[in-house]
Amino acid sequence: MDSRLFLALAVSALVALRSWMRFRRAVHAVSNHPGYRTLLNTLGPIENFFPRIPYVTPGAFHMWTRKHRDFEEHGWDVITYVAAFIGSKTNFYVADAEAIKEITTHRSRFPKPVEQYRVLTFFGGNIVASEGDEWKRYRKIAAPAFSERNNRLVWDETRLVMQDLFAHVWGDRAEVRVAHAVDITLPIALFVIGSAGFGRRIAWRDEDAVPPGHTLTFKEALHTVSEHVFVRLLIPDWLLRAAPTARLARIRDAFAELELYMHEMIAARRAGAGADKEARDDLFGGLLDANDDDDARLQDSELIGNMFIFMLAGHETSAHTLCYMLALLAMHPEEQEKLYESIKEVCRDGRLPEYEDLRSLSYCEAVLYETLRMFPPVHSIPKSVAEDTAITITNAAGARTTVPMPKGSSISLHTPGLHYNPRYWADPHTFRPARFLADWPRDAFLPFSAGPRACLGRRFSETEIVAAAAMLVLRYRVEVPPDPRFVGESWQARFERVMQSRPGVTMTPLHVPLVFKLR
């Protein structure tokens, strides 16, 4: 036998043996707790391009498509993934509410794997891509910005955005058709984050001139950045600087322009400190007002980095959730009618809902929460294991077991698995907003994470979506338009077609055609 071939075979055999031994040690380290034993890991980007292949890979988007089925098949709401070759790190998928509460509460044992978020720091350090003392410093400055005053501003600005849409875009048309609902919900969210986030009000038909020293308007820069965040995360800096295509050049320029606008806003706010205090209820003003502690003061790049994170988290999440909410209401006209009647009951004199009505719009909030349960913004919340530890869990049959978690392992808080877990949610695949009007399992609801790392912008997003949905439903009946290509389709087939999604930066609706009929 050729010596080179013999050497190659010997090396391959050695690699296979070492991988097998490492695999067996990993399985033993978790006491062979039920789960998947595969060739490829569940964590990296390569295997996400594979279909689901037993013993090879769980497949792309399996967390979303299978929801709670993996846990049902293995009999526990914590399952293990141990890979033999590529990426041998053990991963725990968790859909057990008590275990998730323990994991999100004990940050020292289960810290956030911030290395996965470093790509989000191209504007500057921020609250998402940090841990420990650095995270505490960011949170100390950022938390006060999400104030009651800002929530009121969010409501008022959302209402203005909707009134502008009705008056100057849709007018008095009896019927408005949209090919994809995100064509409406994305601008709504963009305009709200522009005003309540940055203090820059944007109109639907805004045609502002480009200011001196800029190549794009603020609206154009914000819109382009918000649309192409995922591209920016994937493109290396050197390629973006070279910008071999017109699209990449526009993305590069938009990010540069938005950063320049934010630097100018910082300078302008500091120069006018104390003036027009009401105009500083936006998030940007709140950050600057809170940034007076010499021990915790943020650099300008950190202020901009955190504002970018707020924009990224608030814009797409709110837009997609509002899209799903409208689609679910269109698919369930009886629930839409209940919502309409509940809003009319609050606004009896025909007036528009005010911020003071927010607590009374309980059914609208219930519809929102049921939307977030069925279509959570993210399908996985990552954590890491900082020390050898264990958690004790109980299954549906009442049996208990202890699951060892070795140091260096990864954890995926499995949001769809939790939200579709029949232990917590009766008939989980059914759209039933009323479940949120009585006592409901709060520890089994994870759209904004939980514990100290829970999303600071939760009330911002909820206020915006409730205001926008209430305005829309009060004025329009929302329906799925008939399509001659799908004549005779069943309700279930239509539901699956309209609600088809894919995980991205957030859960993304693929094609939601809607028609809005004036009431």
Tell me the DSSP string of 57-126. B--TTHHHHHTTHHHHHHTSSEEEEEEEEE----EEEE--HHHHHHHHH-TTTS---GGGGGGGGSS---
Alpha carbon distance 23, 90 (integer Å)? 9
Please name which of 417, 429, 406 lies closest in space to residue 93, comparing C-alpha atoms. 417
Query: 467 and 492: one domain?
Result: yes
Instruction: Mark whether 352 and 472 lie in a shared domain.
Output: yes
Q: What is the pLDDT of residues 431-479, one digit of tens each?
A: 999 999 999 999 999 999 999 889 999 999 999 999 999 999 999 999 9
The sign one gets for the Cα dihedral 142, 229, 190, 203 is: positive
For residues 29-47, average pLDDT: 77
Q: Which of 145-159, 194-208, 331-345 has the lowest mean pLDDT?
A: 194-208
User: Does one domain contain both 334 and 462?
Assistant: yes
Q: Which residue has the higher pLDDT, 506 or 448?
A: 448
117: in domain: yes
User: Does position 60 have pLDDT exceeding 70, yes or no?
Assistant: no
Most confident of 220-224, 451-455, 476-480, 504-508: 476-480
440, part of any domain: no
Say whether 129 sits in a helix, a strand or coil.
Answer: coil
User: Does 99 or 194 have the greater pLDDT score?
Assistant: 99
Is the domain of 162 the same as that of 47? no
At CA 141, angle to CA 138 and CA 142, rounded to 5? 80
Cα–Cα distances (Å) from 265 to 199, 272, 389, in that order, read: 9, 10, 47
**Whether residue 396 sits in one domain with residue 319:** no
Answer yes or no: is pLDDT of 277 > 60.
no
Residues 114, 138, single domain; the answer is no
Do 64 and 141 lie in a common domain? no
Which pLDDT belongs to residue 19?
A: 74
Q: Residue 21 falls within a domain, yes or no?
A: yes
Strand runs labelled E in 268-422: 380-384, 389-394, 400-405, 410-414
Domain containing 481 equals: 132-377+447-518
pLDDT score of 77 more than 70? yes
* Domain presence at residue 426: no
Task: Please check the confidence at residue 101 and state whether its pLDDT lies above 80.
Answer: yes
Whether residues 346 and 293 share a domain: the answer is yes
* 441 inside domain: no
Domain stops at, among 419, 438, 471 = 419
Instruction: Supply the pLDDT for residue 181.
Output: 97
* Contact indicator for 161, 191 with CB cutoff of 8 Å: yes
The reply to whether 499 and 364 lie within a common domain is yes
% of the chain surpassing 70 pLDDT: 94
What's the rounded mean pLDDT across residues 228-246? 83
Calculate the average pLDDT of the chain.
Answer: 89
pLDDT band for position 1 (cuts 50, 70, 90): low
Is the pLDDT at 300 greater than 80, yes or no? yes
Where b means 16+ CB within 10 Å and e means fewer, 298-311 reads beebbbbbbbbbbb
Q: 142 and 49, same structural domain? A: no
**Which pLDDT band, with edges at 50, 70 and 90, does 274 fall under?**
very low
pLDDT tens digits, 117-160: 877 888 889 998 898 889 998 998 889 899 999 999 999 999 99
- How many distinct structural domains can be found in the chain? 2
- Joined tokens for residue 228: 């192409």
Among 205-214, 218-227, 370-379, the range of highest mean pLDDT? 370-379
- Asked whether residue 170 carries a pLDDT value surpassing 80, the answer given is yes
Residue 278 sits in a domain of what CATH number? 1.10.630.10
Closest CA to 278 of 98, 182, 149: 149
Residue 175 — very low, low, confident or very high, per pLDDT cuts 50/70/90?
Answer: very high
* Digit-coded pLDDT (tens) for 308-335: 888 877 788 999 999 999 999 999 999 9
Report the chain's C-alpha Rg in angstroms.
Answer: 25
53 and 20 in a single domain? The answer is yes
- Segment 194-206 mean pLDDT: 87
Does residue 37 belong to any structural domain of this protein?
Answer: yes
Parallel, antiparallel or unpaired: strands 380-384 and 389-394? unpaired
The predicted structure's pLDDT at residue 86? 55
Cβ–Cβ < 8 Å for 390, 29: no
Q: Binding site: residue ranges?
A: 455
Q: Provide the percentage of residues in the chain whose pLDDT is more than 90.
A: 55
**CA–CA–CA angle 268, 273, 274 (5° rounding):** 140
Q: Answer whether residue 442 is part of any domain.
A: no
What pLDDT is attached to residue 229? Answer: 78
114 shares its domain with 158:
no
Q: Evaluate whether residue 143 is within a structural domain.
A: yes
Binding site feature residues for heme = 455
Reported as a single tens digit per residue, the pLDDT across 380-439 is 999 999 999 999 999 999 999 999 999 999 999 999 999 999 999 999 999 999 999 999
